[in-house]
Structure 1
Amino acid sequence: MITALAGLVDPLKRSLIGSSEVVLHDLSKMPNSIVAISGHLTSRNIGDPATEALLRAWREGTMQTRIGYESTSPEGRALRSSTILIEDADGPFAALCTNTDVSVWQGVHDMTAAILHGGPWPGETPAPQIPRHQDPPRDIKQVAAGLMREAIDQVGVPVSLMRKDHKLRVVDELRRRGFFLLKDSIEATANRLKVSRFTVYNYLNELEERGDADTDDSGKSA
Structure 2
Amino acid sequence: MKELISMNDEHPLLSLMIPIADIIAKTIGDNCEVAIHDLTHPKHSIFYIVNGSLTGRKKYDGLSPAFNELVQLATLHEDNLVNYFDSENGHLFKCSKSLIRDENQHIIGCFCINIAIDNYLQMKSTIDSLCETQHIDNLNVQKTQAGNLDSNISELVHDMIINTYSELKGAKSKLSKADKIELVRFLNDKGIFRVKGTIEMVGELLKISKFTVYSYLEQIKSNSDPALISRSSS
TM-score by length of 2: 0.47
Query: Going by fraction, where is helix more abundant, 1 or 2?
Result: 1
TM-score by length of 1: 0.50
